[in-house]
Amino acid sequence: MTPMYQYLASEVKSAISGVGTNEDALIEILCTRRSNAEIQQIKDAYKQRYSKDMEEDILDYTCGDFKHILVSMCNASRPEGEPVDLALAAADAQKLHEAGQGQRGTDVSRFQATLCSRSYDQLRQIFHEYVKLTDHNITEVIEKKNVWKSETGPSDNCQSSVRYAVLLCGKAT
């Protein structure tokens, strides 16, 4: 039986090969509650099987802000095992509001920094605080403000993928 990390490495390759990119598969593999060690195993298996760095292939076959999110996730540096910081969650919710709904235009870098650098439990609390602050779900803001788009214009697939990732990472364990 093929180990899961080897299977997922081949799924990443399939998602970026051929016509189009399967953004949902990449999100499912890289952005949905995998530990840093699991992501590192996937990267190592990818390198062993295809003799290329997974991040390089992701850079080559994806575009726009979505590409940067995936590469950030490949860094496998998300905090793990830390207690939820309620004050930080409230501050992050405020910053996300100011970066999106609270202004004209959107500061994508603020969304990306928060989504890629906080633990999954911390993100869940941030999303809860965001609703308390704004009466809106964070996915609504991502959709309405068109937070992520490809370099050639809005990407419905990318928007859907990011909303999907936010929903999955915000779910309880």
Q: What are the structural domain ranges in the chain?
A: 4-74, 86-169
Beta bridge mates, 150: 153
Topology match between the domains 4-74 and 86-169: yes
Sign of the CA dihedral running 169, 27, 57, 35: positive
Within 8 A by CB and 6+ apart from 164, the residues are 24, 27
Candidates 3.40.640.10, 1.10.540.10, 1.10.220.10, 3.60.20.10; correct CATH number of 4-74? 1.10.220.10
Considering the entire predicted model, what is its pTM? 0.79
pLDDT category of residue 151 using cuts at 50, 70 and 90: very low
Mention the CATH class of domain 86-169.
mainly alpha
Q: Report pLDDT digits (tens) over 15-48.
A: 999 788 888 889 889 888 899 999 999 999 999 9
Whole-Å CA distances, 117 to 36, 81, 133: 12, 13, 21
pLDDT digits (tens, 9 = 90+) for 39-68: 999 999 999 999 999 999 999 988 877 788
Rounded Cα distance between 122 and 165, Å, is 15
CA dihedral 44, 108, 59, 21 (to 10 degrees): 90
